[in-house]
Every structure is written in C-alpha cells, then in structure tokens.
Amino acid sequence: MAAKIKKGDTVVVLTGRDKGKTGEVIQMLPAEDRAVVRGVNLVRRHQRQTAQTEGGIITKEAPIHVSNIAIADPKDGKPSRVGFKIKEDGTKIRVAKRSGDLIDG
C-alpha cells in the first residue's frame, strides 16, 4: 500500500492536547504507524551530558499516531483525507479529497 503521509508533508493534528496545530512531518515510523511532527507533542526529557551534547532538561518532539493527524489541504490548510489518482503515464499521485488538489508535485 502506498503511504498516505510522507516525510516533509504538512499535517494538522486532529486530537489530543495539540489539537488544531499544524506542522511538518520530520520522520515517519511505519512499523509503529507513528510520525514525528515539528512543534507537536513536545516532551521534556532529562539528558546526561556527553562530549557532543549539553546535559540538562531538553524539549523534543515525541512520535504521534498517524490516526491522530491528517494532511493539510494545499488550498486552505484544513484537514483532508488522501486519495490516489493514476496519471496517463501510469504514475500514482496523491490528491486531497477535500479540494481535489495534488499533494505532491
């Protein structure tokens, strides 16, 4: 099955404490059906000091389940479902169900 959400997509959070926030997908974890979204689901972690990193309490993004995010419609930025269309040359492209706009170029 083709991936409906990919790295680099702009998504909207549908549920949870970050509901309504928009962000870019930094990383996809397909084995766990989760995505890491910039600025969403921020958690504070204690980190020991190493030669490369400073110690202390750091804030970073935790993965969020893909069922709780939706693609932002390219036209108006509201949540949309993802559909697929086959072009004349046989390539498969993603389209937003809300407006019918292409998601990937």
Per-residue pLDDT of the chain (105 residues; tens, 9 = 90+): 468 999 999 999 999 999 999 999 999 999 999 999 999 999 999 999 999 988 999 999 999 999 999 999 988 989 999 999 998 998 999 999 988 888 875
Residue 103 lies in a domain: no
CA–CA separation, 68 vs 81, rounded Å? Answer: 12
Two tokens at 104? 């990937």
- Nearest Cα neighbor of 29 from 60, 65, 59, 61 is 65
CB of 61 closer than 8 Å to CB of 38: yes
CA–CA separation, 18 vs 16, rounded Å? Answer: 5
Two tokens at 53? 């990193």
The vertex-31 CA angle with 28 and 35, nearest 5°, equals 25
The CATH number covering residue 18 comes to 2.30.30.30
Give the number of domains in the chain.
1
Q: Read off the pLDDT of residues 56-82 as tens digits, 9 standing for 90 and up.
A: 999 999 999 999 999 999 889 899 999
Residue 35 lies in a domain: yes
Residue range of the domain that includes 66 = 9-96
Residue 4 lies in a domain: no
Kindly report the pTM of this predicted structure: 0.84
